[in-house]
């Protein structure tokens, strides 16, 4: 039985530190199936558009700057209940609060440099996947 899909992005901190393979392996061990992936360096305009939902938040400028600081790796992954399962697999935004064995506990540097982005709802997963992988829509 096919699962649902979600989007995750290995952020520039983890990608630049050579952690992409370990993160993908961890997600596959948790039952996710990688359906699409690419490596790209976001432009300021792309990052601003993708994170537009946060434009009024105080961290928006810093987030855009961080996400354009180096290559990242957006991925579409599939699993039953993919969005909730991914949120559980990556852990809390602050790695100090993340559960043992989660991506952020293992690979994040800080709350701002937290290794991975994951969609927070099925609706956002579809929109975010389409942003990076329009060919899958």
Active site positions, annotated: 117
Q: Which helix (H) or strand (E) holds 127?
A: helix 122-132
Q: Which helix (H) or strand (E) holds 73?
A: strand 73-79
Q: With the C-alpha atoms ordered 132, 87, 31, 100, is the resulting torsion angle positive or negative?
A: positive
Q: Which helix (H) or strand (E) holds 67?
A: helix 60-67
Q: Which helix (H) or strand (E) holds 107?
A: helix 103-107
Q: Which two tokens stand for residue 68?
A: 């354009």
Task: State the residue for tokens 């209940």.
Answer: 81
Residue 107 and residue 95: Cα distance in Å, rounded?
8
């Amino acid at each position: 039985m096919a699962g649902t899909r979600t989007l995750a992005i290995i952020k520039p901190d983890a990608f630049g530190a050579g952690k992409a393979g370990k993160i993908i392996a961890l997600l596959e061990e948790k039952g996710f199936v990688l359906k699409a992936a690419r490596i790209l360096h976001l432009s300021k305009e792309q990052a601003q558009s993708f994170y537009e939902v946060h434009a009024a938040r105080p961290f928006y400028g810093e987030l855009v700057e961080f996400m354009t600081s180096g290559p990242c790796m957006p991925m579409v992954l599939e699993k039953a209940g993919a969005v909730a399962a991914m949120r559980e697999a990556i852990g809390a935004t602050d790695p100090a609060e993340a559960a043992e064995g989660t991506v952020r506990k293992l690979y994040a540097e800080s709350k701002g440099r937290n290794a991975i982005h994951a969609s927070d709802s099925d609706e956002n997963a579809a929109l975010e996947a389409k942003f990076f992988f329009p060919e899958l829509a």
